[in-house]
C-alpha cells in the first residue's frame, strides 16, 4: 500500500498539509491518554484504500498538463517538479481517460514529459487572520506589499459551500454606502448582493472607490480580478486613502494564469467569510466578475469542455452562483457583496450579465449617455433596482423615491419633444414637474469623487427634491 506523504513544499501559503489535524480514523484509535489502540489502528490501515501519491507528466497541451497518475480527485492540489526550478503547484481540473488534467498555479515553464507529480490529498486553502487588515495579497493569498508574511490564525478553503438557506438571517438593516443616488433611490441592506453593470470607461472603478471609502462596514475586502498592473497600484495608493487599515486587497492581474485569477475571487470570498464568522460586517467588492467568468472559460475550454453560449462552457454558469451565493448574512456577521459586470459593447443582455443579474439581489446600471453628459456617478436610476429596498426604508422614503423615478421616466419619454420645442406645458403633469425640478434632480444625482454623503443627508435631500407634490399640483 502506498501512503500519501505530507507535502511541505514551498511556494504556497502554509504548504499543503501543514498543520493538519489527525484524521478521524486515527483520532478514534487514540485513547483518552493519547495512547494508540493498536487493534483499531490495524483495522483502519487494513480498510484504507491504496492510493498512489505520485505520477509523472506525459504531455502539455495549451494550458493543461496531462499526467499519468497520481490518483487524485477534482480540485485536489498537486506539486509538479521542474528541473533547476522550484516545484510549481497545480490543481486537478479534469480527467481524460486514465490521465489526470492539471493546471499550474504559477509559471509552467520547464515542465516537461517525465516531470514528477505529487498529490497532496487536499484542496487549496488560504491563511486568514486579523493580520490581513491593511495588506495587499496576490491571487493565492501571498503578500504583495513587501511587509512580510501574515500570521495564520486559521486556514479556510478557497472554494467553500454557501451557507444553508435557512441559516441566513433576514436582511432588515440598511447599509449606507456614501453615494446619494444609491442610498436614496437604490437602498441596499447589510448582507445584500448587488451587481454594478457598466461598459468600459463609464466610471465603475471610481464608484467602487467611493463605496470602499465611505461604506459603513467593519472590514472591506477588495478583489481586483484581471486588472492592469498600473490600476492595482493606483487603486491602493489613491482610492484607499483613509480606509487602508480596515481593507484587504486581493489582486490577480491580467498577466497571471487563468486559474490564479479564479483563485483570487475565491480567496477574497474566503477572507470575507473569516471576518463574517467573527461577527464583523464585511463589504466585499469584486472587480470584475466578468473577468472571473472569462478565466473559467479559459480553463473549461483547455480541458476540452464544449462551448455552449457565446463561447462560454456550461461549467461557467454553474460556478457563478456558487461564488455569488457565498456572500450574505451569517449567524452573527454579514458579507455585503458588490460585483462589477463589464458588459461588452454595452450589451446588458450578454450571457454573463444575464446570469449574474438573475442571481443577485439587485443591480446598478451605469449609463454611458449620462457619463457623456457629465453626470457622475452615471447611475441610470430607471434601469437599476434594489430588490430589498421596500423592506429597508420607511413609507415616506419609499414614496419620495417612487415619485422621483416617475418624474424621471416621464421626462425620458418626452425628452425628444422637449428638445425640439414641441412639448406644451400642461400636457403631462409629471413631465411639467420633471422640467421644473430637473436642475435640482441632476444636482442631487451628481456627486464628487471625494464627497461623502451620510444616509440621513441623502434621504433629506431626496425629500427636498421629490417632496411637495401637492404644492406642485396647485401650481400646475
Does residue 21 or residue 435 have the better pLDDT? 435
Which tens digits make up the pLDDT trace of 383-399? 999 999 999 999 999 99
Domain final position from 335, 370, 392: 392
In a domain, 9, yes or no: no
pLDDT at residue 423 in the model: 81
**Sequential DSSP letters for 29-46:** HB-TTS-B-HHHHHHHHH
Is 302 within the bounds of a domain? yes
- Asked, for residue 18, whether it belongs to a domain, the answer is no
Report pLDDT for 145.
Answer: 87
In the structure, what pLDDT confidence band is assigned to residue 11 with cuts at 50, 70 and 90? very low
Residue 44 forms part of a structural domain: no
Q: Are residues 355 and 308 in the same domain?
A: yes
Confidence (pLDDT) at 50: 59
Backbone angle region of 218, left / alpha / beta, with phi > 0 → left and psi within -120 to 50 → alpha: alpha
What does the pLDDT look like over 439-456, one tens digit per residue?
A: 999 999 999 888 888 999
Percent of the chain exceeding pLDDT 90 equals: 54
CA distance 257 to 369: 35
Q: Clarify whether residues 417 and 368 are in a common domain.
A: no
Average pLDDT over residues 278-290: 94
Mean pLDDT within 421-449: 89
Residue 47 pLDDT exceeds 80: no
pLDDT for residue 206: 86
Give pLDDT, residue 36: 58
Are 297 and 407 part of one and the same domain? no
Residue 346 domain-assigned (yes or no): yes
Domain boundary among 97, 122, 147: 122
Question: What is residue 232's predicted lDDT score, i.e. its pLDDT?
Answer: 87
Domain ranges, residue 174: 126-392
Same domain, 250 and 318: yes
Q: What is the mean pLDDT of residues 92-120?
A: 90
Residue 88 belongs to some domain of the structure = yes
**Do 68 and 89 fall within a single domain?**
yes
Domain annotation covers residue 193: yes
The answer on pLDDT for 290 being more than 70 is yes
To 10 degrees, what angle do helices 429-445 and 455-466 make?
Answer: 150
If DSSP codes are grouped into helix, strand and coil, which group holds residue 173?
coil
Q: Is the predicted pLDDT of residue 27 greater than 60, yes or no?
A: no
pLDDT of residue 20: 40
The pLDDT of residue 52 is 61
Are residues 371 and 290 located together in one domain of the fold? yes
Are 268 and 406 in a shared domain? no
- In SS3 terms, 229-292 reads as HHHHHHHHHHHCCCCHHHEEEEEECCCCCHHHHHHHHHHHHHHHHHHHHCCCEEEEEEECHHHH
**How many whole angstroms separate alpha carbon 113 and alpha carbon 94?**
19
Are both 92 and 178 inside the same structural domain? no
pLDDT at 125 over 90: yes
Give the lowest-confidence range in 51-60, 154-163, 170-179, 284-293: 51-60
434 and 345, same domain (yes or no): no
Residue, of 25 and 45, whose pLDDT is higher: 45
Residue 227 confidence (pLDDT): 87
Final residue in a domain of this structure, among 374, 392, 410: 392
**Residues 72 and 221 both lie in one domain:** no
Record the pTM.
0.85
Task: Answer for the pair 414, 431: CB distance below 8 angstroms, yes or no.
Answer: yes
Each residue of 140-149: pLDDT tens digit?
Answer: 999 998 888 8
| 39-43, 180-184, 371-375: the lowest-pLDDT one | 39-43
Helix (H) or strand (E) holding 348, with range, is: none
Average pLDDT, integer, range 95-113: 89
Clarify whether residues 98 and 220 are in a common domain: no
Q: Place 16 in a pLDDT band, splitting at 50, 70 and 90.
A: very low
CATH for 57: 2.40.10.170
Mean pLDDT of the chain: 85
Domain count along the chain:
3
DSSP letter assigned to residue 20: P
Per-residue pLDDT tens over the stretch 299-339: 999 888 888 878 899 999 999 999 999 999 988 899 999 99
CATH of the domain at 364: 3.40.50.12240
Q: Is the dihedral of CA 432, 435, 438, 440 positive or negative?
A: negative
Residues 55 and 188 in one domain: no
Q: Is residue 70 part of a domain?
A: yes
pLDDT for 51 equals 58
Q: Is 57 helix (H, G, I), strand (E, B) or coil?
A: strand
How far apart, in Å, are the Cα atoms of 234 and each of 167, 229, 472? 39, 9, 47
CATH number of the domain residue 443 falls in: 1.20.1270.330
pLDDT above 70 (res 356): yes
Check residues 84 and 474 and name the one with the higher pLDDT: 84
Amino acid at each position: 500500500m502506498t501512503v500519501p506523504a505530507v507535502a511541505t513544499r514551498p511556494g504556497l501559503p502554509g504548504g499543503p498539509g501543514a498543520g493538519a489535524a489527525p484524521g478521524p480514523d486515527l483520532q478514534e484509535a487514540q485513547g483518552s491518554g493519547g495512547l494508540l489502540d493498536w487493534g483499531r489502528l490495524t483495522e483502519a490501515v487494513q480498510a484504507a484504500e491504496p492510493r498512489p501519491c505520485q505520477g509523472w507528466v506525459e504531455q502539455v497541451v495549451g494550458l493543461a498538463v496531462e499526467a499519468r497518475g497520481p490518483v487524485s480527485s477534482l480540485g485536489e492540489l498537486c506539486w509538479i517538479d521542474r528541473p533547476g526550478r522550484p516545484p510549481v503547484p497545480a490543481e486537478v481540473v479534469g480527467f481524460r481517460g486514465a490521465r489526470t488534467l492539471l493546471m499550474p498555479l504559477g509559471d509552467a515553464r520547464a515542465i516537461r514529459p517525465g516531470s514528477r507529480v505529487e498529490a497532496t490529498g487536499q484542496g487549496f486553502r488560504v491563511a486568514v487572520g486579523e493580520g490581513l487588515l491593511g495588506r495587499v495579497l496576490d491571487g493565492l493569498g501571498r503578500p504583495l506589499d513587501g511587509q512580510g508574511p501574515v500570521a495564520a490564525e486559521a486556514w479556510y478553503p478557497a472554494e467553500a459551500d454557501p451557507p444553508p438557506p435557512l441559516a441566513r438571517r433576514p436582511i432588515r438593516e440598511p447599509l449606507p454606502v456614501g453615494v446619494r443616488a444609491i442610498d436614496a433611490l437604490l437602498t441596499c441592506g447589510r448582507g445584500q448582493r448587488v451587481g454594478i453593470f457598466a461598459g468600459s470607461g463609464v466610471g465603475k472603478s471610481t464608484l467602487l472607490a467611493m463605496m470602499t471609502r465611505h461604506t459603513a462596514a467593519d472590514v472591506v475586502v477588495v478583489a481586483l480580478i484581471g486588472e492592469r498592473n498600473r490600476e492595482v497600484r493606483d487603486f491602493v495608493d489613491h482610492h484607499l486613502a483613509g480606509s487602508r487599515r480596515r481593507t484587504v486587497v486581493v489582486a490577480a492581474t491580467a498577466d497571471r494564469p487563468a486559474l490564479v485569477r479564479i483563485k483570487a475571487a475565491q480567496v477574497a470570498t474566503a477572507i470575507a467569510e473569516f471576518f463574517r464568522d467573527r461577527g464583523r460586517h464585511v463589504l466585499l467588492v469584486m472587480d470584475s466578475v466578468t473577468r472571473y467568468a472569462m478565466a473559467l472559460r479559459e480553463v473549461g475550454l483547455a480541458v476540452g469542455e464544449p462551448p455552449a453560449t457565446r463561447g462560454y462552457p456550461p461549467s461557467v454558469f454553474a460556478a457563478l452562483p456558487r461564488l455569488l451565493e457565498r456572500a450574505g448574512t451569517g449567524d452573527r456577521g454579514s458579507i455585503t457583496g458588490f460585483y462589477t459586470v463589464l458588459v461588452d459593447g454595452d450589451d446588458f443582455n450578454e450571457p454573463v450579465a444575464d446570469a449574474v443579474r438573475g442571481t443577485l439581489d439587485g443591480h446598478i446600471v451605469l449609463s454611458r449617455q449620462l457619463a457623456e453628459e457629465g453626470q457622475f456617478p452615471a447611475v441610470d436610476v430607471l434601469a437599476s433596482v434594489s430588490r430589498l429596498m421596500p423592506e429597508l426604508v420607511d413609507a415616506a422614503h419609499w414614496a419620495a423615491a417612487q415619485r422621483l423615478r416617475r418624474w424621471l421616466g416621464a421626462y425620458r419619454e418626452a425628452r425628444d419633444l422637449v428638445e425640439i420645442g414641441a412639448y406644451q406645458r400642461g400636457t403631462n403633469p409629471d413631465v411639467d414637474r420633471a422640467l421644473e425640478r430637473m436642475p435640482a434632480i441632476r444636482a442631487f444625482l451628481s456627486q464628487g469623487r471625494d464627497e461623502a454623503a451620510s444616509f440621513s443627508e441623502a434621504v433629506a435631500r431626496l425629500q427636498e427634491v421629490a417632496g411637495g407634490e401637492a404644492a406642485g399640483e396647485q401650481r400646475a
